[in-house]
Structures are given as structure tokens and as C-alpha cells.
Amino acid sequence: MKKTLKNIPLVYLLILVVFFSCSSDDDTPPVDPDDDNGIEQPEPVSALNLAEYDNGSRVMMQAFYWDVEPRFEWWNTISDKLENWADAGINRIWIPPASKGQSGGYSMGYDPSDYYDFGEYDQHGTVPTRFGTREDLENMISTAHDNNIEVIADMVLNHNSGGGLQYNPYREKDTYTLFDETHGNASGMFNRDYEDFYPNSVSNYDPGSLFYEETNLDHHRERVQNWLWKDENSVAKYYKNVMGFDGWRFDYVLGFEDFVIKDWLEEVGGFAVSELWDGNPSVLRNHIEATGSGVFDFAAFYVMEQAFDRNDDLTGLTNDQVWQTNPDKAVTFTANHDTEKDGNEDNIIAPENKLKAYAFIMTHPGYPTLFYLDYENPEFQDQLNKLISIHNSLATGSVNVIYADNDEYIMQRSGDANNPGLILYINTSENAKRRTITTSWDTTVLMDYSENSNYRPQVSENGEVIIEAPANSYAIWSITE
């Protein structure tokens, strides 16, 4: 049945009138930042000292991008930045696979050959890795620890590359499955041959490597488990006890079974995050349950990409994401070395929306990750430093989405007895927006701690306040002194 105004009770019409009189929409004139909208402005106030509101949360840095330059100097490049990163509020760095790959001085480490060559053996045409020498790496790890920053190793545990040819009776042809002192494994540790890869005398089943299928390690074999995580000189224990790594980023976990990570973590512990490239939050949660590892929250990544770029609809920001149920296991991000290099527009958040996406992950639960190229972008760095400071101080408490439509998203973190929390207001329209909301605060003056707005609204006794967000930007509101 078609509804007309005659069918709507008078009280609902009054509610609609009040609602639309308290909001700014695209068809209204742009908001003048100096316009008090008829509201008497309070006296000047002082911002909170955010250092006094340390909520214990911090931020991780992905300390590389694809094909980093200069070659052979990357560990030194990182070392020079660690003190500033620590001062900004970063407590972990994730570095690329640190051992020698088949591509030698050009390898980004994802073609592992010798797990124990960190830039000290002459093989694959080079002594140092693309990133530098073993001494450079050890100095970088030591500098990180001096600045209370943990170093996360990127572990490629399925596909190997760079071995020598040998006849493989299980494939009835020659395969590059011989790894020894003269064939891609100069360290002489974890030598391996075709029996250590699928298929072999005990395993015919390959769990699903999409590439390097002939050199996909069989993790069911006891000697492979011993060399990877069980023995005292295993990869896991050597990286932790000798090299000083503090945790793990597991690459391409679709290429092996969950028990590998579960057993690894039970053996050596440490921070862990898995690259399970799947936007389905249920799949990601199942991996958390099966392994005990955290996950990169690809569900949140694609929610942001669709909301800001593909669909241009901020209601999508309320869709299911891992951080909503597993905040301590959800590593949130806006970009990484893969999303920024593949050229797929559905796998990248557009540069003009990056800061809005960072504002989202820095104010919501989860463990946010900065991408090196974003942080080193001079157009982003000042604002990112502010977002880190806000995240490490005011981003605490339960989440309440106050309002969401195509171009507005307003969310409040409740804080606690000792922390006021915050309100995030994202606006993707071409006009500045203002909206009346009800908060958990009363009779206080608010300010935007991102410093994108100079507006200073007064909260009423019943918690109502008019907040604003600049055009195509965001504001992060909290109380003042």
C-alpha cells in the first residue's frame, strides 16, 4: 500500500522535522568553520594532555614496501628511523623475510632458499641479502630493542625456491628440490631433498599451494617439523634465541594446514599474525580459533575499500569485521606491500581516502598497522602522528555507532572511569557537515583532536551537542580541560 503523509501520525512528523533541522545534508550550503550556527561559543579551553591518558595500546609499522631501495642498505635505513617511530607510539615493526632467496640481491625474501643465511654466505650471486648483511640485521634488531620496539619476522613456511635439480621419482621428472651446501643452502642447516616436499613416500596429498607446487614443504614429515620449529636449532628457535626476533608474521597460510602455526606457537610463543587473504570474517575467525594466531583483518580492509571507494556508502563501515568480536587478534590495516603493487583497484584504498581509513582503524578496536610508504609520505605523516597519539590515548571503551548514511559515519568509544573516550565523525561529501548527537558527556566543551576543525561545541546537560566534520575529511572529538 502506498503511504502518504496522511498515513503518518503527527508525532512522527514532528520527529522528522526535529531530525532534519539538526543535521546538514548535501543540498545545504557549506558550513562556515567560523559560523557558530547560532550557538554561543564557550570561552577558550585547553586540550587534554593525551600523554596522561595512555590506554596501553600501540601501533605496528610494516617497515618495508615491494622492491625497497636502496638495495643492501634497508636494515640501516630502518635503524635510522626507529627512535622517531618509538617516540610516535609504534611498538612493533614487521620486516620482510630476512633470509637469502633465490633472487639473491634482488629478492624480497618470498622465494626462500636458505633459512639461515641472513647475508653472510656467497650464494645466488651475493653475500648480503637485498636488505643488507647479517651484521646490519643484528644491529637493527638491537637498536629496535633499545627503543622498546619488537621485531616481527616474516615467515614463508610452504614454498621454497633456488635448490638444485635432482630426479624426483614421485613426479617422474627432474625437480629443483635439492637444497644443500652447494645448491642454495650454503649454511648447511635444514638440508632437504624431494622427500621433504609433496608428494613423497608417505604423503601424496598437497594441501593446496597455488604456486611452487613442486617445492611445497610437507609439514607432516617429522624431520621438517624438527627443522622448522621443534629442535633446539630449528628455524623458529634460531630466529628467536639467536637472532632476537620477537614474533611472527606467517605468509600465505592458505598454502599449509592450521596445525603448523598452532604447533609453532606452542613451541616458541611470541606475537603472531597470519596472512589469510580472505574477506570473509568467519573464515578469519575460524583460523584464529584453530591456530591461536592473530589475523590481518581483511574483512575490515574490504569493508573500508568498498565504503570509501567502490560503493561510496559509509553504511558499509558497520558490516561484519573481525575486530568486532576478536579485537585482541585483529590486526587492522589500510595498505600493505601486496595491495600497493598489484594494480587491482579492488585491492587498494585510493590515496584520497587513505587518511579517512586510517582514522577508522586508529579509533576502532584492533591492532592497527601503518604502511611504510604512507607514513613516510610528507602529506600524511603529521596527521598520522596525531592519529597514533589519539589511538594510544583516547581510543578505548565500547563502540557505539551513533549514525551512518552514504556520506556520514559517527561512532563513539565510551572510554572508562579514567578516560573520556572519543567520537569519530567521517564525512565524504563535498560540503562540511554538522549533526546533533547525544553523547555520554555533559556540560563540557569539545574539540577535534585531529585538528581538522577549529569548532568548539558545548555539550548540554542532557548530553546533546552539535559536532561537525570538514568536507571529505574527518574529526575526532573529545572533552577539554
DSSP, collapsed to helix, strand or coil, labels residue 210 as: coil
pTM: 0.91
Find the distance separating the first CA and the last CA of the chain, reported in whole Å: 54
Q: Is the dihedral of CA 446, 442, 397, 284 positive or negative?
A: negative
> Which residue in the list 136, 251, 278, 468 is annotated as catalytic?
251
Protein fold of 52-391: TIM Barrel (3.20.20)
Q: Is 246 annotated in some ligand binding site?
A: no
Please tell me whether the peptide bond between 199 and the residue prior to it is cis, using omega within 30 degrees of 0. Answer: yes
Supply 273's cell numbers. 599474525
251 classed as catalytic: yes
Supply 390's cell numbers. 589519539
Tell me where in the chain the CATH 2.60.40.1180 domain(s) lie: 24-49+399-479
| The residue to which cell 610508504 is assigned | 373
pLDDT in tens, the chain (481 residues): 333 333 333 333 333 333 333 454 544 445 554 555 545 555 678 999 999 999 999 999 999 999 999 999 999 999 999 999 999 999 999 999 999 999 999 999 999 999 999 999 999 999 999 999 999 999 999 999 999 999 999 999 999 999 999 999 999 999 999 999 999 999 999 999 999 999 999 988 776 666 788 999 999 999 999 999 999 999 999 999 999 999 999 999 999 999 999 999 999 999 999 999 999 999 999 999 999 999 999 999 999 999 999 999 999 999 999 999 999 999 999 999 999 987 777 899 999 999 999 999 999 999 999 999 999 999 999 999 999 999 999 999 999 999 999 999 999 999 999 999 999 999 999 999 999 999 999 999 999 999 999 999 999 999 999 999 999 999 999 999 9
Please tell me whether the peptide bond between 70 and the residue prior to it is cis, using omega within 30 degrees of 0. Answer: yes
Q: Is 258 annotated in some ligand binding site?
A: no
Q: Is 407 annotated in some ligand binding site?
A: yes
Contact criterion met (CB below 8 Å) for 438 and 467 = no
Contact criterion met (CB below 8 Å) for 322 and 295 = yes
Tell me where in the chain the CATH 3.20.20.80 domain(s) lie: 52-391
> Which residue in the list 114, 196, 246, 275 is annotated as catalytic?
275
136 classed as catalytic: no
Q: How far apart are CA 262 and CA 314, in angstroms?
A: 37
Supply 379's cell numbers. 602529506
Protein fold of 24-49+399-479: Immunoglobulin-like (2.60.40)
Query: Is residue 467 within a helix (H) or strand (E), and if so which, with residue range?
Result: strand 464-469
DSSP letter for each residue of 359-387: HHHHHSSSEEEEEHHHHT-TTTHHHHHHH
